[in-house]
A = this chain, B = another copy of it.
Amino acid sequence: MDKKLTVELISVGTEILMGNIINTNAAFLAEECVKLGLSCYYQDVVGDNRQRLTATLKMAIDRSDIVILGGGLGPTQDDLTKEVAAECMGCELVMDEESKAAIAEYFEKIGKTPTDNNWKQAMMPVGCTVMPNHNGTAPGCIITKNDKHVILLPGPPEELKLMFKESVEPYLRSIMPGIIYSKTVKICGIGESKAETMIRDLIDAQTNPTIATYAKTGEVHIRVSALAEDEQSAKKLTKPIVKELKERFDNSIYTTEEDVTLEQSVVDLIIGNELTVGTVESCTGGLLAARLINVPGVSDAFKQGFITYSNKAKRKLVGVKKSTLEKYGAVSKQTAMEMAAGLASVAKCDIAVATTGIAGPDGGTAEKPVGLVYIACSVCGRVTVKEHHFSGDRQKIRNNTVTAALNLMRQSLLEYFSEKTFGKK
Interfacial residues, chain A to chain B (CB-CB below 8 A):
14-24, 26-34, 40-47, 49, 52, 56, 74-77, 106, 109-112, 115, 117-118, 134-136, 156, 158, 162, 191-194, 196-197, 203, 212-215, 221, 223, 279, 281, 284-290, 292-294, 296-299, 302-310, 312-313, 316-317, 360-362, 369, 371, 389-396, 398
Enumerate chain B residues within 8 angstroms of A17, measured Cβ to Cβ.
30, 40-43
Taking the closest CB of chain B, its distance from the CB of A370, in whole angstroms, is 10
- A286 near B296 with CB under 8 A, answer no
Cα distance A307–B277 in the bound complex, in angstroms: 12
Instruction: Assess whether A302 is in contact with B310, with CB atoms less than 8 Å apart.
Output: yes
How many angstroms from the CA of A279 to the CA of B304 in the assembled complex? 13
Check B29–A19 contact: CB distance below 8 A: yes
Q: Which residues of B contact A306 (CB under 8 A)?
A: 304-307
Q: A19-B27, A76-B196, A279-B307 are in contact. List 7 more A-B contacts (CB 8 A).
A: A18-B212, A21-B27, A22-B23, A75-B192, A76-B213, A135-B396, A158-B396
CB distance from A181 to the nearest CB of B (A): 15
A269 to B54, CA, bound (A): 47
Cβ of A30 to closest chain B Cβ, rounded Å = 3
Q: A306-B304, A307-B279, A307-B304 are in contact. Are A391 and B286 (CB under 8 A)?
A: no
Write the nearest CB–CB distance from A360 to chain B, whole angstroms: 8
Contact of A162 with B32 in the complex, beta carbons under 8 Å: no
A45 to B46, Cβ gap below 8 A?
A: no
Q: Which residue of B lies closest to A295 (CB)?
A: B394
How long is the Cα–Cα vector from A47 to B30 in the complex, in angstroms? 13
Residues of B within 8 A of A118 (CB): 193
The answer to whether A110 touches B309, judged by C-beta atoms less than 8 angstroms apart, is no
B41 x A74 contact (CB < 8 A): no
Q: How far is B287's CA from A398's CA once the two chains are assembled, in angstroms? A: 13
Q: Once the chains bind, are A42 and B43 in contact (CB under 8 Å)?
A: no
Please list 18 pairs of residues, one from A and one from B, whose beta carbons are closer than 8 Å in the complex, sorted by A's number.
A15-B214, A19-B26, A20-B223, A42-B46, A44-B44, A76-B193, A111-B389, A158-B395, A158-B396, A285-B294, A286-B286, A289-B307, A296-B394, A298-B309, A304-B316, A305-B305, A305-B307, A306-B307
Which residues on B sit within 8 Å (CB–CB) of A23?
22-23, 26-27
B contact residues around A30 at 8 Å (CB): 16-19
Majority SS at the chain A contact face: mixed
Q: Please tell me which one of the listed residues B26, B106, B287 contacts residue A290 in the complex, with CB atoms under 8 A apart.
A: B287
A329 to B270, CA, bound (A): 27
Q: Which residues of B contact A212 (CB under 8 A)?
A: 14, 18, 20
List the 10 closest A-B pairs by CB distance, nearest first: A305-B307, A286-B286, A285-B293, A19-B31, A19-B30, A286-B289, A43-B45, A286-B290, A287-B290, A22-B27
B289 touching A285 by the CB < 8 A rule? yes
Chain B neighbourhood of A52, CB < 8 A: 41-42
A42-B45, A215-B156, A395-B158 given as contacts; is B193 within 8 A of A115 (CB)?
yes
Q: How far is the CA of A27 from the CA of B294 in the complex (A)?
A: 26
| Interchain CB contact (< 8 A) of A34 among B18, B27, B28, B286 | B18
A192 and B310 within 8 A (CB): no
Chain B residue numbers with a CB within 8 Å of A297 are: 362
**Identity of the chain B residue whose Cβ is nearest the Cβ of A9 in the assembled complex:** B45
In the complex formed, the residue of B with least CB distance to A286 is B286
Task: From B31, B162, B304, give the contact of A313 (CB < 8 A).
Answer: B304
Which of B76, B287, B371, B395 makes the CB contact (< 8 A) with A286? B287
Complex Cα spacing A45 to B32, Å? 17
Smallest CB gap from A191: residue in B:
B112
